[in-house]
C-alpha cells in the first residue's frame, strides 16, 4: 500500500517533451494548447493515463493546468503548491500564481494580438470555457477543439483502468439504489426535466450503490450515466468491469459501452421537449455541444443527496473513525518511543499504513500519506520520496496527514508532532492553529449559512498574529467514497449552505517555508444544534459533532495562550479520546495514550 512519490523532475521531462508538443501545435497551426489536470469525468483525481500535466511538466499536484504557447509555458498553481512547483518543474516552465492571475489575463498579456488556442473538449468543462471566453471578450482569440496533442507524443501512455466493480451493501449505504433512483427521477419530473447527465464517478457510485478502483485510493469506477425522468438509468461503462454486479444493478439499469455515450446524448437532445439537466462545472464541453438548446444548467442531481449523509452513513463513518483512531494512536505511541534522529518520514508512513491494514474493513488508504518534517512540512501537499526522505531530527515538527478507506467510512486526519524539543515560535504558531480548530469545533451558526460565511472563524487566531494559510479551512468527505467531496466546503469559495449529515474537515494550518509546517485536522459532521435554555433564542441553529479522535500534541501547546474555554475544550476532547480509543489499543499504547491525554 505504501508508495514513494518522486518530487523531482525526471531527466526526460522538460525541454524534449515541451518541444515535441510545440511541434504538434505548429502542425495544427495553433498558437497555444491547454493541458489541464483533468479527465473526461471532471473529478479531482485521475488515472495514470490521464496524468498529462504531470507527464509533460513534472508537476504532480492535484489541481492546476499548463498553458503552452510558442515561447512560454505557464504552469498555473494555487497557494497549496507554490513551494512544490519550484522543486518539480524544469526551468522551461513558468509558475503562475492562480487564481490571482487568471488565464484570460495571462493570455492577453502573452498574446496581445490574440491567437488560436487548442484544447481537448473532453477535458474542459462547459463552465470553464464559458468563463474563459467571456473574460477574453472580443480580444481576438479563437479556441479550437482538437484531439489531445499530449496523447500524440506520449508513447507509453497507460491504458484506461479496467478494475472490477463491487456492490456496496445497503447496510452501509443506508438506502437502496432503487430508492435513490426513484427519488431523483421524481425531482426531475417536478422540475420539468426529461433526464440528467452524470459524469462524476463518485455520483454514479453513490446512485447505484457500487464501488470501484479505477483511481488510486478512491473507490470509484470510470463511466457516464443518464438518469431518465421515468426512473431508468443508462450506464456507460465497460462491461468487463460490471461482471460481478449484473444482478445488483437490476433491470432498470441498462449497461452500454462508453463509446455509446455521445450518441445517446445526441438522441436525448433531439427528443421532443427535451430538457436535460447537467452540472456545467463538471460537464465536458463536447457533451454540452451535443446537448445544445436541450441543456439545462441544473447541477448534478446526486450532489446534495450524496453530501447529506443518512444515519447509516454517519454512524458507519463514526465507527470507522474510532478504529482508525486506534491505528493512529498505535503509531504515535511507537513514534514517541523512537529517539530523535533514528527514524525517517518513510518509516512513519510504513508504520501507520501497517497499523491501518490490521483492520479487516480497510480497503485502501484514502490518499498518499503526507509525512513531512522540518522544511518538508511547509510543503502543503508534500509526498515523500526516496530522494526527499528526511530524518526526524531534534527540534523539528512532523506534519502527518493520512486517512483510510473503510467499507463503512472514509477518514482523513492530520496531527502535527514535536520531535525532541520544539522551538518556541513553532509552539506559539501551533497554539494559534489549535485555537482556530477549537473555535470552529465549538461553533453554532444559523441554518442557511455556507462554508464561506463561517470559515474565517478558524483563521481569526492566526489573523490576529498577522499569519494565515494558503488553503481552505475544510473540504467535504464522502462515505467510503472520495476523500474530497463537493459541493460542501469550508472555504471562501464554499457557497452551498451546510446541512445536517454533511461531513467536512476542519484543518487550519500555518507554513513557514524552509522551516516547518503545522496542520491539525479533525472531521466533523453537521447536526442540529442542541436547544439552548434561553427564551431569547429565535433561530434554527446547526453545530458540529466531532468524528475524529486522536491526541493533540500537548508538548506543542502553550497553555497560557489558551482561554479557559479553550483549555476546557482540549481537556474534554482528550478525555473523550482516552475513553473511546483506549479500550481498542495495546497495553503499551494505552499507557502512552493516558499520558498524552492528561489534562492541561
Strands (E) in 529-584, as ranges, are 541-546
Average pLDDT over residues 501-529: 97
Calculate the alpha carbon distances from 598 to 547, 555, 570, 575 in Å: 20, 12, 10, 8
* Residue 5 pLDDT exceeds 90: no
pLDDT of residue 60: 80
Which helix H or strand E contains 527, and what residues bound it? Answer: strand 522-528
DSSP state letters, 256-289: E-GGGHHHHHHHHHHSTT--EEE-TTTSBHHHHH
Under the banding of pLDDT at 50, 70 and 90, the label for residue 532 is confident
Average pLDDT over residues 497-521: 97
Question: For residue range 184-241, what is the model confidence (pLDDT) as tens digits?
Answer: 999 999 999 999 999 999 999 999 999 999 999 999 999 999 999 999 999 999 999 9
Q: pTM for the full model?
A: 0.92
Beta-carbon contacts of residue 432 (< 8 Å; ≥ 6 apart): 461, 462, 464, 465, 467, 510, 561
Average pLDDT over residues 314-318: 98
Considering Cα of 53, then 55, then 61, then 67, what sign does the dihedral take? Answer: negative
* Residue 1 pLDDT exceeds 70: no
Percent of the chain at pLDDT exceeding 70: 97
Under the banding of pLDDT at 50, 70 and 90, the label for residue 144 is very high
* Residue 8 pLDDT exceeds 50: no
User: Across the strands, what pairs with 549?
Assistant: none
Average pLDDT over residues 554-582: 98
Full strand arrangement of the beta sheet holding 65-69: 94-97, 73-77, 65-69, 32-36, 115-119, 141-145
* Residue 2 pLDDT exceeds 50: no
User: Across the strands, what pairs with 489?
Assistant: 475
Q: Which of 38-42, 220-224, 432-436, 587-591 has the lowest mean pLDDT?
A: 38-42
Question: For residue range 386-429, what is the model confidence (pLDDT) as tens digits?
Answer: 999 999 999 999 999 999 999 999 999 999 999 999 999 999 99
User: Across the strands, what pairs with 545?
Assistant: 525
* Residue 266 pLDDT exceeds 50: yes
Which residue in 222, 196, 191 sits closest to 291, CA to CA? 196
Question: For residue range 240-263, what is the model confidence (pLDDT) as tens digits?
Answer: 999 999 999 999 999 999 999 999
Greatest CA span in the chain, whole angstroms?
Answer: 75
Under the banding of pLDDT at 50, 70 and 90, the label for residue 14 is low
CATH placement of domain 308-527+537-596 = 3.90.230.10
Looking at domain 166-303, its CATH architecture is 3-Layer(aba) Sandwich (3.40)
Q: How many CA atoms lie within 13 A of 78 on its CB side?
A: 12
Which residue in 307, 400, 410, 325 sits closest to 365, CA to CA? 410
Other residues' Cβ atoms within 10 Å of the Cβ of residue 255: 18
State the Cα–Cα distance between residues 386 and 372, nearest whole angstrom. Answer: 13
Question: For residue range 92-138, what is the model confidence (pLDDT) as tens digits?
Answer: 888 888 888 899 999 999 998 889 999 999 999 999 999 999 898 88
The boundaries of every CATH 3.90.230.10 domain in the chain are 308-527+537-596
pLDDT of residue 463: 98
Under the banding of pLDDT at 50, 70 and 90, the label for residue 61 is confident
| Averaged pLDDT score across all residues of the chain | 93
Looking at domain 15-153, its CATH architecture is 3-Layer(aba) Sandwich (3.40)
The boundaries of every CATH 3.40.350.10 domain in the chain are 15-153, 166-303
Amino acid at each position: 500500500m505504501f508508495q514513494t512519490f518522486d518530487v523531482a523532475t525526471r531527466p526526460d521531462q522538460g525541454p524534449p517533451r515541451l518541444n515535441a508538443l510545440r511541434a504538434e501545435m505548429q502542425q495544427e497551426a495553433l498558437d497555444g494548447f491547454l493541458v489541464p489536470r483533468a479527465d473526461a469525468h471532471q473529478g479531482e483525481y485521475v488515472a495514470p493515463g490521464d496524468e498529462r500535466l504531470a507527464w509533460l511538466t513534472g508537476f504532480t499536484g492535484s489541481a492546476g493546468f499548463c498553458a503552452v504557447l510558442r515561447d512560454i509555458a505557464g504552469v498555473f498553481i494555487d497557494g497549496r503548491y507554490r513551494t512544490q512547483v519550484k522543486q518539480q518543474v524544469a526551468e522551461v516552465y513558468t509558475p503562475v500564481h492562480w487564481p490571482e492571475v487568471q488565464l484570460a489575463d495571462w493570455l492577453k498579456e502573452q498574446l496581445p494580438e490574440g491567437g488560436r488556442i487548442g484544447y481537448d473538449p473532453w477535458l474542459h468543462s462547459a463552465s470553464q470555457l464559458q468563463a474563459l471566453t467571456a473574460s477574453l471578450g472580443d480580444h481576438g482569440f479563437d479556441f479550437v477543439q482538437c484531439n489531445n496533442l499530449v496523447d500524440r507524443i506520449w508513447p507509453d501512455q497507460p491504458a484506461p483502468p479496467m478494475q472490477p466493480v463491487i456492490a456496496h451493501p445497503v447496510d452501509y449505504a443506508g438506502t437502496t439504489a432503487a430508492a435513490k433512483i426513484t427519488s431523483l427521477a421524481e425531482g426531475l419530473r417536478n422540475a420539468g426535466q426529461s433526464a440528467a447527465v452524470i459524469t462524476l464517478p463518485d455520483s454514479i457510485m453513490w446512485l447505484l450503490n457500487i464501488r470501484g478502483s479505477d483511481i488510486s485510493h478512491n473507490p470509484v469506477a470510470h463511466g457516464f450515466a443518464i438518469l431518465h425522468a421515468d426512473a431508468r438509468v443508462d450506464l456507460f461503462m465497460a462491461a468487463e468491469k460490471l461482471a460481478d454486479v449484473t444482478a445488483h444493478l437490476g433491470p432498470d439499469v441498462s449497461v452500454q459501452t462508453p463509446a455509446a455515450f455521445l450518441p445517446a446524448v445526441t438522441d436525448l437532445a433531439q427528443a421532443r421537449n427535451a430538457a436535460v439537466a447537467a452540472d456545467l462545472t463538471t460537464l465536458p464541453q463536447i457533451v454540452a455541444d451535443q446537448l445544445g438548446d436541450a441543456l439545462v444548467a441544473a447541477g448534478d442531481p446526486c450532489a446534495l443527496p450524496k453530501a447529506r449523509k443518512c444515519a447509516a452513513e454517519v454512524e458507519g463513518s463514526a465507527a470507522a473513525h474510532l478504529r482508525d483512531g486506534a491505528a493512529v494512536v498505535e503509531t504515535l505511541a511507537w513514534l514517541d518511543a523512537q529517539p530523535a534522529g533514528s527514524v525517517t518520514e518513510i518509516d512513519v508512513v510504513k508504520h501507520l499504513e501497517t497499523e491501518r491494514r490490521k483492520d479487516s474493513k480497510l480497503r485502501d488508504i484514502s490518499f498518499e500519506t503526507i509525512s513531512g518534517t522540518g522544511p518538508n512540512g511547509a510543503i502543503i501537499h508534500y509526498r515523500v520520496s526516496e530522494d526527499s526522505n528526511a530524518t526526524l531530527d531534534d527540534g523539528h515538527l512532523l506534519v502527518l496527514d493520512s486517512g483510510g478507506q473503510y467499507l463503512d467510512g472514509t477518514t482523513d486526519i492530520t496531527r502535527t508532532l514535536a520531535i525532541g524539543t520544539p522551538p518556541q515560535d513553532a509552539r506559539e504558531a501551533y497554539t494559534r492553529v489549535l485555537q482556530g480548530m477549537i473555535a470552529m469545533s465549538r461553533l453554532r451558526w444559523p441554518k442557511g449559512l455556507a462554508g464561506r460565511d463561517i470559515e474565517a472563524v478558524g483563521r481569526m487566531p492566526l489573523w490576529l498574529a498577522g499569519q494565515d494559510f494558503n488553503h481552505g479551512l475544510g473540504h467535504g468527505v464522502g462515505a467510503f467514497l472520495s476523500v474530497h467531496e463537493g459541493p460542501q466546503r469550508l472555504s471562501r469559495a464554499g457557497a452551498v449552505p451546510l446541512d445536517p449529515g454533511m461531513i467536512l474537515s476542519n484543518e487550519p494550518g500555518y507554513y513557514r517555508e524552509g522551516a516547518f509546517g503545522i496542520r491539525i485536522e479533525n472531521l466533523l459532521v453537521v447536526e442540529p444544534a442542541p436547544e439552548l435554555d434561553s427564551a431569547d433564542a429565535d433561530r434554527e441553529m446547526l453545530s458540529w459533532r466531532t468524528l475524529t479522535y486522536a491526541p493533540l500534541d500537548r508538548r506543542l501547546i502553550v497553555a497560557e495562550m489558551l482561554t479557559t474555554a479553550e483549555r476546557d475544550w482540549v481537556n474534554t476532547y482528550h478525555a473523550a479520546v482516552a475513553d473511546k480509543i483506549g479500550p481498542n489499543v495495546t497495553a503499551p499504547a494505552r499507557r502512552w495514550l493516558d499520558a498524552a491525554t492528561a489534562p492541561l
